[in-house]
Structure 1
Amino acid sequence: MSNIVKVALVQQNNTVDCQQNIDRSTQGIRAAASEGADLVVLQELHRSLYFCQSEDVSLFDLAETIPGPSTDYFGQLAKELGVVIVTSLFEKRAAGIYHNTAVVLDKDGSIAGKYRKMHIPDDPGFYEKFYFTPGDLGFEVIETSIGKLGILVCWDQWFPEAARLMAMAGAELLIYPTAIGWDPRDDAAEQQRQLEAWKIVQRSHAVANGVPVISCNRVGHESDSSGSSAGIDFWGNSFICGPQGELLVCASESDGEILIANIDMEKSEQVRRIWPYLRDRRVDHYQDLTKIYRD
């Protein structure tokens, strides 16, 4: 017997008005629930603009505690609608200690678990090291009423080690709340190369681990508040793929959308029997993976 879970993601464009952004997320969650979704994934830092384009100490005021206002709100929504919700929040852990944290609210409204982003970028337009302390919770799955979720966040999606460790911990889905886009000054060919690389690397995690992947990205242009750059054109293209990397649904690069797909939770078992990558790993010869580089 198959075990079908209906999963959804909400791709949205954001404004400076945090309440408006929350309202848009809420509308997306309600729409997905009305279509029978069991799980709804929101994009990275969905409550605000992507504030990491510049370094500004006043923007730490956007952070909140966990539990806190957002987990209370989305927990109540999860309970009302009977869905699992994956949020992405700017966590204030203590004075001077902040994290980029994904929180999973189960169908009963409780906090099933959280994941603190492990890989923190520091690139032009993505100055996350200024805001976020690297995560300290490791790569642990979050058990929910619909299964074991492997939550990772944005920059984590480029690292095969993170996906592998989640799969080794028993993740039945890999989920990536994301905020990634183009520098408007890049030419079309470079933009296409970046987009294709982003899709390929995540679909490869599905293939290499035999698990479905849900990737939820932002969309739309967001200006750099410092005026030092041309801002970011978030490229959307959120998608859901199966355990062989097969695309089930994919969003546009320009519009807010709600994507919904049925995931057969039993299919990973079938795929892993045919492609037993985990069985054939040579862990007795992988010691050098713990080194930064082999000189």
Structure 2
Amino acid sequence: MNTKSTSRSVAVLQMRCVQDKDTNVARATELVREAAGKGAQIVCLQELFHGLYPCQAEDHALFAEAEPIPGPITQAMGKLSGELGIVLVISMFEKRAAGLYHNTAVVFDVDGSQCGLYRKMHIPDDPLYYEKFYFTPGDLGFKSFDTKFGRVGVCVCWDQWFPEAARLTALTGAEILFYPTAIGWHPSEKDEFGAAQHSAWETMMRSHAIANGVYVAAPNRVGSEGEIEFWGGSFICDPYGNLLQKGSVGEDQILMADCDFKLMDTARTHWPFLRDRRVDAYSGLTKRFLDADSNG
């Protein structure tokens, strides 16, 4: 970290998206400006903020939504970050090469320079979430990035269900883990399973905060798109898993919290999970599954 104070103002933004990319980018820009005006130093947008969630069907035409890096979106967001003097985290549909696409997070430092790139590692393939059709799994590994306001780690949506991703990102020195997200309810499931699904989503990430002694922040999109009702519920929690801010189910919102990164040392000293890890005994984690008679 490049400044003496350890307290940072963190904001996550949840917003409805429409078909038109320029409209979404303009709306995101408006919310980022508002957050910065309220004192936010680190701001994170939701997953694939620049368009409707494309993966509800396998449609070749939707590859046209992707952009290279650098490209118009990253140029606009980098300029915005530099103008406002904030750290900005975005998630976008990246065209890396002909026929090669990623779900990618980009981190901009306060001078507008790109200081981080993360490509989503875990790619789902579920009803209405046909991401394997669109996205190649990331090949950059799990990492975090130094910025003026702290060391930022980023994973994306489906990554949030994997404790290995959170642990490996935390082990690179991340002080806060961001999870840009697009998750919601299937109409046929909401009444019976909706509350449990939402609770599991939030609980999983709060557990990452506790297990790794880091802050966690998850911006999730809102609104109905096709057959999905995105449930919002964006939140920021501390290294003990305490919720500092939590968003509504259906409204565009800016959620802000002061995150004192010095608390990480207190949490990790009193709950010394990193100290007590048995790194000599975890070789089995590199296997798909351990049979009952396996020695790992």
What TM-score does the superposition give when structure 2 sets the normalisation length?
0.96
Per the alignment, residue 35 of structure 2 pairs with: 32
Identity among equivalent positions (%) equals 56
Q: For each residue in 1:129-179, what CA deviation from the matched residue of structure 2 results, as whole angstroms up to 9, or x when unmatched?
A: 000000000001111111111100000000000000011111110000000
Q: Superposition pairs for residues 78-227 of structure 1, below 5 Å?
A: 78-223=81-226
How far residue 187 of structure 1 moved from its aligned partner, in angstroms, is: 4.0
Give, in whole Å, the separation in 2 of the partners of 1:12 and 1:146: 24
Per the alignment, residue 271 of structure 1 pairs with: 267
What TM-score does the superposition give when structure 1 sets the normalisation length?
0.96
Give, in whole Å, the separation in 2 of the partners of 1:148 and 1:166: 11
Give, in whole Å, the separation in 2 of the partners of 1:187 and 1:128: 22
RMSD of equivalent CA atoms:
0.9
How far residue 188 of structure 1 moved from its aligned partner, in angstroms, is: 2.1
Q: For each residue in 1:200-256, what CA deviation from the matched residue of structure 2 results, as whole angstroms up to 9, or x when unmatched?
A: 000000000000000000001001xxxxxxx10000000000000000000000111
Q: 2:67 aligns with which of 60, 64, 67?
A: 64
Matching of residue 245 in structure 1 with residue 248 in structure 2: no
Q: Say whether the 8 Å CA contact 1:209–1:277 is kept in structure 2.
A: yes
Give the letter aligned to residue 17 of structure 2.
N
Per the alignment, residue 45 of structure 1 pairs with: 48
Task: Say which SS state the counterpart of residue 9 (structure 1) adopts.
Answer: strand
Q: 2:254 aligns with which of 258, 274, 277?
A: 258
Give, in whole Å, the separation in 1 of the partners of 2:165 and 2:20: 33
Per the alignment, residue 294 of structure 2 pairs with: none
For these two proteins, the number of residue pairs brought into alignment is: 288
How far residue 189 of structure 1 moved from its aligned partner, in angstroms, is: 3.5
Give the letter aligned to residue 46 of structure 2.
Q
Q: For each residue in 1:37-93, what CA deviation from the matched residue of structure 2 results, as whole angstroms up to 9, or x when unmatched?
A: 101100000000001000011110011100111111011101111111101111001
Give, in whole Å, the separation in 2 of the partners of 1:63 and 1:37: 29
Give the letter aligned to residue 265 of structure 1.
F
Q: Which runs of 4+ in 1 moved over 4 A?
A: none
Unaligned 5+ segments in structure 1 are 224-230
